[in-house]
C-alpha cells in the first residue's frame, strides 16, 4: 500500500520527471517541482573556447546535465589524453552516452549508486591518480563542487571552473501551486537532491505558508548527509538520508517515514 502523502520531487531536468513517473507507477502520489530550470551556458563563446583548449589532465563532470551541456558545446571528439571523472553512476552513464570519444579516455567514477555520495566518494579515486592531475577542468553550472575544487587545489592542481549551463529560478505555474495547496491538506513529503534546492523551496513558497509548513513537517528525503544537514537547519523536522530511487523512496514512506 502506498503512502497517502504526496511526494514532491525537486530534482531538475529529465531525471526529476522520470522519478515522478516511476513513483506514480509504484502507486505513490507524486508531483514534480524542479528547484531550478536549466539554461544555456552564461558565456557560450568562452565555454566553447575553453573546451577547445588542449592541456587539461582531467575534466570533472558534476552531473548528467553537465555532460549533456558539454556535448552541445564541443566542436570535436573528446581528447583521449584528458581523463574524465564523474561524480556518480548516473553522470558516468550520461558522459558515455553524450560525449563523443569519451569511451577512449580514462574514466573514473565511484562504484555503485555513487550519485548519492558525490564528491567525497570521487575524491579518493582522484588522489590515487598517477601522475596526479595538474590542470583540472570542472564542468558545472555557475557554482557547485567547491569542496572538491578546494581539495584538488590543496593537492597542487590548478582548477578551472567552467559553467557549461546555467541554473535558473523555477516559478511554479498557478495550476501546480493549486495542486500543492490541495495536497498539503493530507501531507507532503519531499525528495531533495541538492543543498541549493532547500533555499529554493523557501523562496518559492513565501506566499504560500501552508505549503511550506507542510513540506517542513513532512518527511524530507535527502540524497546526501550534507543536504540533510541543510534541511534540518532550515526547519525540516523529519529528515532521512535516502537513495534517490523510486523503490528506496517508497520503502522509506511505507516504513513510516511519511
> Are the C-beta atoms of 44 and 226 separated by less than 8 Å?
no
- List the domain range (segments joined by +) for residue 133: 39-166
Let me know whether 204 and 146 are in one domain: no
Cβ-based burial of 163 (10 A; exposed 0-12, middle 13-18, buried ≥19):
buried
* CATH code of the domain in which 234 resides: 3.40.50.10090
* Strand-pair partners of 83: 58
Domain membership flag for residue 172: no
Q: What's the N-to-C CA distance of the chain in angstroms?
A: 13
Let me know whether 47 and 120 are in one domain: yes
- CA max distance for the chain: 57
Let me know whether 77 and 136 are in one domain: yes
Q: State the pLDDT at residue 1.
A: 38
Let me know whether 44 and 75 are in one domain: yes
**Cβ within 8 Å of residue 18, ≥6 positions away:** none
Helix or strand or coil: residue 108?
A: strand
Given 115, 132, 166, the domain boundary residue is: 166
Let me know whether 118 and 153 are in one domain: yes
Let me know whether 53 and 123 are in one domain: yes
Q: State the pLDDT at residue 202.
A: 84
Question: How many Å apart are CA 79 and CA 91, to the nearest integer?
Answer: 19
Domain membership flag for residue 81: yes
Q: How many separate domains does the chain show?
A: 2
Helices within the chain (DSSP H only) = 13-25, 44-51, 64-73, 89-98, 118-127, 146-154, 174-183, 195-204, 209-217, 225-233, 246-252
Domain membership flag for residue 10: no
Domain membership flag for residue 136: yes
258 residues of the chain, pLDDT tens digit each: 355 899 999 999 888 999 999 999 999 999 999 999 999 999 999 999 999 987 899 999 998 999 999 999 999 999 989 999 999 888 999 999 999 999 999 999 987 654 445 788 899 999 999 999 999 999 999 888 888 999 999 999 999 999 999 989 899 999 999 999 999 999 999 999 888 889 888 888 888 999 999 999 999 999 888 889 999 999 999 999 988 889 999 999 988 654
Let me know whether 46 and 108 are in one domain: yes
Phi, psi of 157 (to 5 degrees): -85, 150
Domain membership flag for residue 78: yes
Let me know whether 195 and 84 are in one domain: no
For the entire predicted model, the pTM comes to 0.82
Nearest to 96 by CA among 55, 121, 104: 104
Amino acid at each position: 500500500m502506498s503512502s497517502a502523502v504526496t511526494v514532491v520531487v525537486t530534482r531538475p531536468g529529465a531525471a526529476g520527471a522520470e522519478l515522478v513517473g516511476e513513483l506514480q507507477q509504484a502507486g505513490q502520489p507524486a508531483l514534480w517541482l524542479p528547484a531550478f530550470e536549466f539554461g544555456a551556458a552564461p558565456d557560450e563563446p568562452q565555454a566553447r573556447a575553453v573546451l577547445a583548449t588542449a592541456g587539461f589532465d582531467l575534466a570533472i563532470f558534476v552531473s548528467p546535465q553537465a555532460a549533456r551541456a558539454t556535448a552541445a558545446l564541443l566542436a570535436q571528439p573528446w581528447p583521449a589524453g584528458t581523463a574524465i571523472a564523474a561524480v556518480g553512476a548516473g553522470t558516468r552513464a550520461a558522459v558515455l552516452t553524450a560525449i563523443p570519444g569519451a569511451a577512449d579516455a580514462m574514466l573514473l567514477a565511484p562504484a555503485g549508486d555513487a550519485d548519492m555520495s558525490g564528491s567525497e566518494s570521487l575524491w579518493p579515486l582522484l588522489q590515487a591518480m598517477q601522475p596526479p592531475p595538474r590542470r583540472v577542468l570542472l564542468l558545472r553550472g555557475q557554482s557547485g563542487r567547491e569542496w572538491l575544487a578546494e581539495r584538488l587545489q590543496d593537492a597542487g592542481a590548478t582548477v578551472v571552473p567552467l559553467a557549461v549551463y546555467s541554473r535558473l529560478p523555477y516559478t511554479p505555474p498557478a495550476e501546480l501551486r493549486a495542486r500543492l495547496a490541495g495536497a498539503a491538506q493530507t501531507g507532503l513529503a519531499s525528495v531533495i537532491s541538492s543543498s541549493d534546492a532547500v533555499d529554493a523551496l523557501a523562496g518559492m513558497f513565501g506566499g504560500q505558508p501552508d505549503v511550506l509548513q507542510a513540506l517542513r513537517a513532512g518527511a524530507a528525503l535527502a540524497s546526501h548527509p550534507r543536504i540533510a544537514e541543510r534541511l534540518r537547519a532550515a526547519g525540516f523536522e523529519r529528515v532521512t538520508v535516502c537513495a534517490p530511487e523510486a523503490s528506496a523512496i517508497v520503502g522509506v514512506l511505507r516504513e513510516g517515514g511519511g
